[in-house]
């Protein structure tokens, strides 16, 4: 009976390894000129944010991470904000993911066509 009790006794799961979410590879760059890729860029960013919430717990972390994938016209637009990152005047954009996303849609060119779609 003692052996049966041991076999049926619940396992101590406190020693099992913690589940780790698999990493998602870094996405492609966005240069601000290919309107059809803007929505994909935004969705991919959001996928990464949802997959790694401990890294992207704030809008600032989301915006700063995403700016590392901007090139061309989009990089030229964000450049002054990043140059003045410690300046309180740029905090409104760097601390607000929704505003950052909206500003990407407002880049000159055919990006407004994506918003209408």
pLDDT value at position 58? 95
pLDDT value at position 6? 55
Specify whether the CB–CB gap between 94 and 81 falls below 8 A. yes
**Token pair listed for 82:** 């990043």
pLDDT in tens, 47-96: 999 989 999 999 999 999 999 999 999 999 999 888 888 777 777 888 99
Residue 17 covered by a domain: no
Residue among 78, 82, 73 at smallest CA distance from 35: 73
Residue 22 covered by a domain: no
> Could you list the residue range(s) of the whole structural domain that residue 63 is in?
30-116
Specify whether the CB–CB gap between 58 and 94 falls below 8 A. no
Which has more confidence, 24 or 76?
A: 76
Residue 1 covered by a domain: no
Q: What is the pTM of this model?
A: 0.71
Beta bridge partners of 30: 70
Question: Following DSSP, what letter does each residue of 93-117 receive, concatenated?
Answer: HHT-HHHHHHHHHTSSSTHHHHHH-
Instruction: Tell me how many domains the chain contains.
Output: 1
Residue 68 covered by a domain: yes
Residue 98 covered by a domain: yes
pLDDT surpassing 70 at residue 21 = no
Those residues whose C-beta lies under 8 Å from the C-beta of residue 39, and which sit 6 or more positions away, are 114
Instruction: Specify the 3-state DSSP secondary structure of 47.
Output: helix
Residue 23 covered by a domain: no
Q: What is the mean pLDDT of residues 16-29?
A: 62
């Amino acid at each position: 009976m003692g052996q049966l009790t041991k076999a049926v006794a619940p396992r101590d799961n406190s020693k099992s390894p913690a589940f780790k979410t698999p990493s998602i590879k870094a996405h492609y760059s966005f240069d601000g000129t290919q309107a059809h890729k803007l929505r994909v860029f935004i969705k991919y960013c959001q996928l990464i944010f949802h997959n790694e919430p401990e890294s992207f717990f704030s809008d600032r972390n989301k915006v700063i991470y995403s700016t590392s994938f901007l090139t061309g016209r989009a990089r030229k637009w964000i450049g002054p904000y990043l140059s003045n990152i410690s300046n309180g005047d740029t905090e409104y954009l760097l601390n607000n993911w929704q505003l950052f996303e909206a500003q990407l849609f407002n880049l000159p060119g055919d990006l407004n066509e994506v918003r209408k779609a």
